[in-house]
C-alpha cells in the first residue's frame, strides 16, 4: 500500500495555495486567486475538506482532488474551523461586535446551508468544542456552558451554570472543566464535571488564590487536566508568578513540583496521555518529564528554551527556544531518552510537526516579523530539505499541515545519522557567546556566563512524592518535608481527593474538608509538643480548639 502524501497549505499576500509530495519533491496541487484579502483557512480534522475565505466569501474544497464543493457569500470572515468529522463548518467575523448581526455562524458543509448564527461577545475563544462524532457541540455563553446535540443549534439540550464562569475546557471523554475567578478575598476555583451530570458535586475541585489568568490543557484521553495559573505582579517578581496544577477526573490533584524558580513557559501532553513535559524556570530554563503521579521521569537539564513539541507518534520530543531566544532546537529519542540532534532556526515564529512524525516546518511570518518571511522543511536529524523565501515586499501569514486523524502514518525507527540535503549552505555558523567587558581577553575555559545543568534520569530529591492521603505515609511525609526544606523555590504539594463520606452538598463538604485540615495541623503541633519543642501562644491556642473543631465536624455530618 502506497504511503499517504502530506499536504501543506500556505496563506500570504500572494493568496492561498497547497503543496503536496515528499519533502525533496513537492508540487502545487491548488492555487487560489492572487488576492491579498485571504483572511483564513482550515482543514477538516479528518483531512477530507479544505476551506478558505477572501473578500468574496468562503470556498470549501475536497482534498482528494481540490474541486470546489460549495461557495458561501459571506464576507469579512477572519476565522474558520470544522467539526471533527467535517459535517459542520464554523465561521467567525472577529471584528464584528454588532449585537443584531451574528458574528459566529454554523454551516452544513455538504450544502452550504446556514444552520445557526450566534452573537459571541469574546472572540478570543470563538471556536466551539465538539465530541469526536460531531453529535455534541459546546460553547460558553455568559455564565453558562451550553451543550447542543444532534445538529439542533437552536436550543441547548443541557447547560452547566455557575456564577462568573470565565473559561471552560471540554475533553474527548465528555468531561468539562470550568474556571471561576476569585473576588473580594475569595479564591479562584476550577471544577470538573461529567456531561450531562451537572447537579451533584464536581468530580474534582481545586481552589487557589494566585490566579489572575489561567490556561487549561486536557490530555488526549480526557482523563487528566493541567492548569497554568499566573499573576500580573507578585512580591517575588515584577513579572508576576506562575503555578502549575494537575487534576484528574478521579478527584486527585496536586501542585506540580518544580526544581527551579521562575515562570512556566510551556506544558505539553504526550500523545499517549500518560506523561507530560514542562519547560520552566528563569533562563536557562529547565525541562522535566513527569508521569501522572507528578513524579519526575526524566530531567533534560537547562538550556535557552521556552517550547516543547511531541511528534504525532510520540517517539520524538523537540525542545526549542523561540521569540526573544536564538532558535535552538533539540530532538530527543523518548524511548532511550537520548539526544538525536541539535540545530538552530533563527527568527522562527511558527513550528509544526508533519503528520509523518519525521519532518517539521519552521517559518518566519507576519505580523510577528514582516521581513525575511518564508519557511524551511526539516528532517529531525537537523537537515533542511526544502525552503521558500518570500520575495521582497511580500508576506507569509500562515501555514497548516493537513491533519491525520486516522493515524495513517505509523511510527518509524529513530535514525541518528544526519540525512543528506540538496540545499547548499545550510551549516549553522556558530555564534560567539556574549562576554561582559571584564571577561574579554580571558581564555574561554576561565569564564562561563551560565552554568548549564546536564540531562539526568536520576530522581530529583523532594520531587518524587505525592501525598495521596492514604495511611502509612507518615514517615514519607516527614522525609518529604526535610527534602523540601533543602530545595529553594520548591512549592509544597497538596492533594484534594474525593472520599466516600461526601454528602452531595458541595459547600458543606468543602467546610468539612477545611476543618479536617485544621485537625491535621493540630495533630502535627501535638507531636512537636511531645518531642519537647516549645510552642508559641498562637500554636497553643490552636491546640485548645481541638474538641471544638471535632464537635463541629460531627454536627455537620449529622445535618
pLDDT by residue for the chain (559 residues), tens digit each? 345 678 899 999 888 999 988 777 788 888 887 766 788 999 999 899 999 998 889 999 999 888 999 999 988 888 999 999 999 999 998 776 677 788 899 999 999 999 999 988 877 789 999 999 999 999 998 888 999 999 999 999 999 988 888 899 999 899 999 998 887 778 888 999 999 888 878 899 888 887 778 899 999 999 999 999 988 766 666 667 888 999 999 988 888 999 888 899 999 999 999 999 999 999 899 999 999 999 999 999 999 999 999 999 999 999 999 988 989 999 999 999 999 999 999 999 999 999 999 999 999 999 898 888 999 999 999 999 988 898 888 899 999 999 987 778 888 999 999 988 877 655 444 445 545 555 555 555 444 545 667 777 655 444 433 443 333 444 444 444 434 433 333 333 333 344 444 555 667 778 888 888 888 888 888 888 877 777 888 888 888 888 888 888 887 776 6
Rounded CA separation 116/104 (Å)? 8
Which residue matches cell numbers 464554523?
90
Rounded CA separation 251/187 (Å)? 19
* N residues, the chain: 559
Q: Which residues of 440-460 are buried (b: 16+ CB within 10 A; e: fewer)?
A: eeeeeeeeeeeeebebeeeeb
Write 51-60 long-range contacts (CB < 8 A, 24+). 51/80, 51/82, 51/89, 52/11, 52/16, 52/80, 53/77, 53/78, 53/80, 53/91, 54/15, 58/89, 58/91, 58/107, 59/32, 60/89, 60/109, 60/112
Reference 495, options 471, 468, 470; nearest CA is: 468
The angle that helices 546-558 and 506-530 make with each other, rounded to 10 degrees, is 160
Grid cell of 299 as nine digits: 530531567
Judge contact between 47 and 4, C-beta under 8 A: no
Rounded CA separation 270/197 (Å)? 29
Grid cell of 12 as nine digits: 500570504
3-class DSSP state for residue 397? strand
pTM listed for this prediction: 0.76
Residue 374 burial (C-beta neighbours within 10 Å; 0-12, 13-18, 19+): middle
List all residues 6 or more positions away from 273 whose beta carbon is below 8 Å from its beta carbon.
219, 220, 221, 223, 224
Q: What is the DSSP letter of 456?
A: B
Amino acid at each position: 500500500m502506497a504511503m499517504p502524501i502530506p499536504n501543506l497549505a500556505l496563506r500570504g499576500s500572494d493568496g492561498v495555495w497547497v503543496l503536496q509530495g515528499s519533502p525533496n519533491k513537492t508540487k502545487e496541487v491548488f492555487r487560489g486567486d492572487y488576492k491579498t484579502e485571504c483572511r483564513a483557512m482550515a482543514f477538516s480534522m479528518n483531512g477530507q475538506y479544505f476551506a478558505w475565505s477572501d473578500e468574496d466569501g468562503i470556498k470549501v474544497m475536497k482534498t482528494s482532488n481540490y474541486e470546489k464543493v460549495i461557495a458561501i457569500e459571506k464576507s469579512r470572515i477572519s476565522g474558520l474551523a470544522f467539526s471533527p468529522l467535517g459535517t459542520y463548518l464554523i465561521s467567525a467575523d472577529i471584528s464584528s461586535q454588532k449585537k443584531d448581526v451574528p458574528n459566529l455562524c454554523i454551516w452544513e458543509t455538504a450544502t452550504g446551508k446556514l444552520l445557526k448564527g450566534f452573537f459571541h461577545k469574546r472572540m478570543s475563544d470563538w471556536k466551539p468544542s465538539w465530541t469526536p462524532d460531531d453529535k455534541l457541540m459546546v460553547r460558553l455563553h455568559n455564565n453558562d456552558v451550553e451543550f447542543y446535540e444532534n445538529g439542533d443549534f437552536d436550543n441547548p439540550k443541557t447547560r452547566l451554570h455557575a456564577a462568573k464562569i470565565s473559561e471552560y475546557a471540554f475533553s474527548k471523554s465528555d468531561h468539562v472543566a470550568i474556571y471561576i475567578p476569585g473576588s473580594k478575598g475569595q479564591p479562584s476555583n476550577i471544577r470538573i464535571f461529567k456531561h450531562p451530570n451537572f447537579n451533584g458535586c464536581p468530580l474534582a475541585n481545586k481552589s487557589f488564590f494566585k490566579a489572575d489568568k489561567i490556561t487549561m490543557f486536557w490530555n488526549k484521553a480526557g482523563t487528566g487536566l493541567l492548569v497554568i495559573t499566573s499573576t500580573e505582579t507578585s512580591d517575588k517578581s515584577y513579572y508576576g508568578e506562575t503555578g502549575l496544577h494537575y487534576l484528574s477526573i478521579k478527584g486527585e490533584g496536586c501542585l506540580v513540583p518544580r526544581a527551579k524558580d521562575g515562570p512556566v513557559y510551556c506544558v505539553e501532553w504526550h500523545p499517549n496521555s500518560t506523561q507530560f513535559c514542562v519547560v520552566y524556570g528563569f533562563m536557562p530554563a529547565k525541562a522535566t518529564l513527569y508521569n501522572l503521579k507528578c513524579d519526575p521521569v526524566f530531567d533534560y537539564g537547562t538550556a535557552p528554551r521556552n517550547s516543547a513539541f511531541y511528534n504525532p507518534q510520540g517517539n520524538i520530543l523537540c525542545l526549542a527556544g523561540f521569540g526573544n531566544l536564538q532558535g535552538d532546537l533539540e530532538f530527543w529519542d523518548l524511548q532511550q531518552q537520548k539526544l538525536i540532534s541539535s540545530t538552530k532556526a533563527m527568527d522562527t515564529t511558527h513550528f509544526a510537526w508533519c503528520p509523518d512524525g519525521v519532518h517539521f516546518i519552521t517559518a518566519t511570518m507576519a505580523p510577528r516579523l514582516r521581513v525575511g518571511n518564508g519557511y524551511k522543511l526539516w528532517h529531525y536529524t537537523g537537515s533542511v530539505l526544502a525552503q521558500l523565501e518570500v520575495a521582497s515586499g511580500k508576506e507569509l501569514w500562515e501555514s497548516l499541515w493537513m491533519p491525520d486523524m486516522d493515524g495513517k502514518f505509523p511510527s518509524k525507527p529513530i535514525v541518528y545519522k544526519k540525512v543528506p540535503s540538496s540545499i547548499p549552505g545550510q551549516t549553522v555558523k556558530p555564534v560567539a557567546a556574549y562576554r561582559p567587558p571584564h571577561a574579554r581577553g580571558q581564555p574561554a575555559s576561565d569564564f562561563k556566563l551560565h552554568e548549564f545543568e546536564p540531562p539526568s534520569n536520576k530522581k530529583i530529591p523532594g520531587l518524587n512524592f505525592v501525598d495521596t492521603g492514604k495511611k502509612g505515609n507518615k514517615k514519607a511525609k516527614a522525609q518529604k518535608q526535610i527534602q523540601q526544606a533543602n530545595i529553594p523555590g520548591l512549592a509544597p504539594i497538596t492533594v484534594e481527593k474525593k472520599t466516600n463520606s461526601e454528602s452531595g452538598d458541595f459547600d458543606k463538604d468543602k467546610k468539612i474538608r477545611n476543618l479536617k485540615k485544621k485537625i491535621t495541623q493540630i495533630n502535627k503541633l501535638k507531636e512537636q509538643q511531645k518531642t519537647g519543642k516549645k510552642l508559641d501562644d498562637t500554636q497553643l491556642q490552636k491546640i485548645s480548639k481541638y474538641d471544638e473543631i471535632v464537635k463541629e465536624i460531627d454536627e455537620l455530618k449529622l445535618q
